[in-house]
Every structure is written in C-alpha cells, then in structure tokens.
Chain A
Amino acid sequence: MAPRAAARLETLGFRNLFEYKGGKQDWFAAGLPAAGRRAAEPTIAGVLHRDVPRFGLNERAGPILDRLRAGGWEWGAVVNPAGILLGRIRAADIRNPEATAEQVMDEGPSTYRPNVRLDELLARMLDHRFEMAFVTDPEGKLGGLVTRRDIARALNAYRRAS
C-alpha cells in the first residue's frame, strides 16, 4: 500500500518522498512508542527481564550453570557478539560442565516482539503449554525474557485497574 501511495504522491508533485518499508509493525516490534486507542494496552515490554544471563557460543557449561544458579535463573540465552539470539540453555539440562554453550543449547527458540499484548501471549502460552519466552527486536537482537507468571500478574493488575 505504501509504494502505491508514494507513487500517487509523486504524481501530485511531491519530491522529497520516503517509503518506510517495515511499516508500523516494524516500528512497534522494535519497542518504539505507539499512539492511538490500543496504545495504552499493556504489552510484554512491561514485564521483560532484560537482565537474563547471556552467553557466548564457546563458553563452558560449568560456569554457565554457576551463573544461572547464582542468579536464580532457570534459563539463559546464547547470543552472538552483536546480541542476536542463537539459542537457549536450561540449567536443569546441563550435565557436562566441560561442554560448550553451543553443544548444550536449544537452537533457534521461538521469539516474540516487545509489542505483543499481554493477553495474546498469555493465551498462546496456555494453549501451547510453555512458561517463558525470549523477546527480540525485528533484527533478532535479544531484549530479554518474559515468564507466564509475570504476564498473568501484570494482566490481572491491569484488569483490576481498568
């Protein structure tokens, strides 16, 4: 639609024209501000654990497990130097402390964008029976982790207040 609108504007004499290819879904998915009727609805950005532990592919499982336990984390993220999410590691699944993150991680976990509504992700978590999810921006850069418990609490608080 935007290319056609830009073409039409060009025929109307507009010259300094740009087309935002990603559109508003790209904007909101990056966690940038929104306006409008739905903008006030709570999103998972509000319950994001940005401090989820992050590890490189070559880090050893032993120290990874130590860090996860020390912080009380069940899950950690494996990222590349640019912060792009590559995989996830569950503390309970670590058996060999000499293994690398690459060897023990689950590859390519499902991710969600920060603009997903709390109720939408909660419904999906209940339907598909999962307790946590990683959140990335449209380029795959890790933002953090959200849990079903936090989402349910935040949603209840929002519903009580509104």
Chain B
Amino acid sequence: MARVVDRAEVRRLVTTEHAQLLEVLPREDFESEHIPGAVSLPLKELNATTAEGLDRQRPLIVYCDDFL
C-alpha cells in the first residue's frame, strides 16, 4: 500500500532518493501546470503497457490536484 506523504517528504524523496513524480490528472491539466520534473500518466491511461515507462528501481510519488 502506498505511503501517504506530505510536501516536505516529497521534497526529501526527490532530492535524496531520486524519486519520480507522477501526475495522474488528464494530460491537459499536466500541460497547463505541473510540478517540475514530474511525468504525466493520466489515470485513464494507466495500465501494464503505459506503466512500463516508469522506473521500478526508484521511489514513485503519485499526485493529482489535491487530496480529494
């Protein structure tokens, strides 16, 4: 199960553990504005094939617009 983290922990994971940031909102939202360094993989497109582009060796941080 994914561990819920706050902003400070996100920054630490990215900085010290080279975590990947994954935005799962629709691509239009990502193109409008996203966290620097994040990649886009909308939830509707998330499957075994599209997930192959993610690095399984690094921590993966998933985010959307907010906590809702």
Q: Which chain A residues have a beta carbon within 8 Å of chain B's beta carbons? A: 1-10, 12-14, 16-28, 30, 32-39, 138
**A26 touching B7 by the CB < 8 A rule?**
yes
Which of A7, A13, A14, A24 contacts B63, CB < 8 Å?
A: A24
**B2 touching A36 by the CB < 8 A rule?**
no
Q: Which chain B residues have a beta carbon within 8 Å of chain A's beta carbons? A: 1-7, 9-10, 13, 19, 21-25, 30-38, 43, 46-48, 51, 54, 56, 58-67
Cα distance, A35 to B59, chains bound together (Å):
21
Cα distance, A105 to B43, chains bound together (Å):
47
Cα distance, A44 to B25, chains bound together (Å):
25
Which residues does chain A contribute within 8 Å of B32, judged by CB atoms? 36-38
Which residues does chain B contribute within 8 Å of A13, judged by CB atoms? 56
Which residues does chain B contribute within 8 Å of A32, judged by CB atoms? 7, 35
**B6 touching A35 by the CB < 8 A rule?**
no
**B65 touching A25 by the CB < 8 A rule?**
yes
Cα distance, A4 to B25, chains bound together (Å):
12
**B61 touching A19 by the CB < 8 A rule?**
yes
Nearest 10 pairs of A and B residues by beta carbon: A6-B2, A20-B63, A1-B64, A5-B24, A17-B2, A36-B33, A23-B66, A19-B2, A2-B64, A35-B36
Cα distance, A36 to B39, chains bound together (Å):
11
Cα distance, A1 to B23, chains bound together (Å):
10
Cα distance, A7 to B62, chains bound together (Å):
10
